[in-house]
């Protein structure tokens, strides 16, 4: 039985809280300590980016982070700062 507190979701992200996207089942990050994807400010991002580089769903992960304006952590091999720059580049190109 699903763990749904309410349906339909009140917020767009509520759906993903209870039903993660299918691609998450194939994500390599599920096999390692999730803490490495949320390094302290100024901490190394080398380990999570290495995991992301080998991940078969890296593009889906990055797209999810961009679509949902994820502000924290490494998603699809990009840090918060790198995603912000990517968003700006896309916006400026449009």
- The H-assigned helical ranges of the chain are 12-18, 46-53, 58-67, 80-93
The tens digit of pLDDT for each residue in 26-50 reads: 999 999 999 999 999 889 999 999 9
- Does 53 map to a domain? yes
Total domains, the chain: 1
- Does 81 map to a domain? yes
- Does 1 map to a domain? no
Domain that holds residue 66: 12-93
Surface-to-core class of residue 60, CB atoms within 10 Å of its CB (0-12 exposed, 13-18 middle, 19+ buried)? middle
Distance (Å, whole) CA 65 – CA 80: 10
Taking residues 62-67, report their average pLDDT. 92
The pLDDT score that the predictor gives to residue 9 is 44
Q: What is the pTM of this model?
A: 0.76
91, pLDDT greater than 80: yes
Three-state secondary structure call for residue 20 = coil
On whether the CB atoms of residues 70 and 61 are closer than 8 A, the answer is no
């Amino acid at each position: 039985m699903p763990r749904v507190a309410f349906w339909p979701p009140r917020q767009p992200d509520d759906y993903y809280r209870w039903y993660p996207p299918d691609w998450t089942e194939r994500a390599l990050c599920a096999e390692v300590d999730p803490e490495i994807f949320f390094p302290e400010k100024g901490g190394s991002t080398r380990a999570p980016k290495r995991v992301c580089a080998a991940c078969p769903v890296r593009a889906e992960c990055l797209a999810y982070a961009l679509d949902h304006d994820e502000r924290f952590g490494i998603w699809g091999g990009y840090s918060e700062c790198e995603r912000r720059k990517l968003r700006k580049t896309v916006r400026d190109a449009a």
